[in-house]
Amino acid sequence: MSSAEKPLIGHLVIVGVGLIGGSVSLALKKAGVVGHVTGVGRNRDNLELAQRIGIVDAWTHDVGEAVRDADVVLLAVPMSAYASVFAAMAKTLPEHAVVTDAGSTKQSTIIAANKFLPGPERFIAAHPIAGTEKSGAGAAFAELYEKRLCVITPVGDSSATALALVMQLWEKTGSRVVTMDAAEHDDFLASVSHLPHLAAFALVNAVRRQKSEGHDPFCFAAGGFRDFTRIASSSPEMWRDIALSNRDALLGQLDAFQQELNGMREALLADDADRLLKEFSAAREAREAWLAKHGDGL
């Protein structure tokens, strides 16, 4: 970007400068499409770190002040913080400013925007389907979204200009943008993201509860346990919020998963080798097909 050129986004305000918000800033800076980035958060140490490592150019604890001359505002906070963040920016958000987010569930964010944001038509909900089990600005990296999907869930009265800008923003992070209905998004993510996290937390707890004196099953855990449970190292607060904000879809997925486990239990109880083999083979085939098609991200 030459000094005479106007960047795609003059002033970007990121509320929640953690893994996700920090990585958006690093990616957009790397792409040369953002002028000035202000970070908003609660934790001083995290914000100072974010400035030191070049994620933000300035920071504040005050959402209302930060958005006063924003062009784009990105929410990358836990799901339970949306209502208070939207309410805090309501009075000072300039009319031209566009708002997007990175929350893991989409219906709840649209409901919060409709309730608390003036001009909710300039809120374009988004979800980059990329992450790690780590949290905070120190975990952010510019390449997180490269070759990953970003789902955008516009609604009927979404502003066309806001939608175009938000699509460009996410494309500039390196992701492939797809648009989808918010309810459909929440149903899909309940099965391929939220259920696996609950299953990982539950599995670690099941093993943890088996611990007794002189007998620690964790001593014998290796690659299988490590691969299955990496995501159980994720932020408990973040996952509490995601689970509650997609409660109904997740309850449906838990029921379906329990049925699968019951089927395997029955087969085992009945020494039904054929049924076990059939179930294991079908799962392996489905996973291999997924890896072949989407294993590199898209």
Ligand X SMILES: O=C(O)C(=O)C[C@]1(C(=O)O)C=C[C@@H](O)C=C1
Ligand Y SMILES: NC(=O)c1ccc[n+]([C@@H]2O[C@H](COP(=O)([O-])OP(=O)(O)OC[C@H]3O[C@@H](n4cnc5c(N)ncnc54)[C@H](O)[C@@H]3O)[C@@H](O)[C@H]2O)c1
Q: Which residues bind ligand X (CB under 6 A)?
A: 104, 129-133, 193, 231, 234
For 102-129, letters b (16+ CB in 10 Å) and e give bbbbbbbbbebbeebbeebbbbbbbbbb
From ligand X, ligand Y, none, interface partner of 120 (C-beta below 5 to 8 A by class): none
Q: CB 200 → ligand X: shortest distance, Å? A: 9
From ligand Y, ligand X, none, interface partner of 79 (C-beta below 5 to 8 A by class): ligand Y
Looking at the Cβ atoms of 186 and 267, the one nearer to ligand Y is: 186
From ligand X, ligand Y, none, interface partner of 231 (C-beta below 5 to 8 A by class): ligand X
Q: C-alpha distances in angstroms, 242 versus 105, 190, 263, 282? A: 7, 10, 28, 30
From ligand Y, ligand X, none, interface partner of 33 (C-beta below 5 to 8 A by class): none
Residues binding ligand Y (CB under 6 A):
15-21, 40-43, 46, 76-79, 81, 84-85, 102-104, 128, 131-132, 135-136, 235, 238, 242
First-residue to last-residue Cα distance in the chain: 28
CB 225: neighbour CB atoms within 10 A?
A: 15
From ligand Y, ligand X, none, interface partner of 175 (C-beta below 5 to 8 A by class): none
Which one, of 105, 70, 96, 73, lies nearest residue 86 by Cα?
A: 73
Which one, of 216, 200, 199, lies nearest residue 208 by Cα?
A: 216
One-letter amino acid of 278: K
Looking at the Cβ atoms of 55 and 267, the one nearer to ligand Y is: 55
Looking at the Cβ atoms of 90 and 139, the one nearer to ligand X is: 139
Looking at the Cβ atoms of 274 and 296, the one nearer to ligand X is: 296
Q: CB 238 → ligand Y: shortest distance, Å? A: 5
Q: CB 298 → ligand X: shortest distance, Å? A: 14
The pair phi, psi for residue 197, each rounded to 5°, is -65, -45
Question: Which DSSP category does 287 fall into?
Answer: H
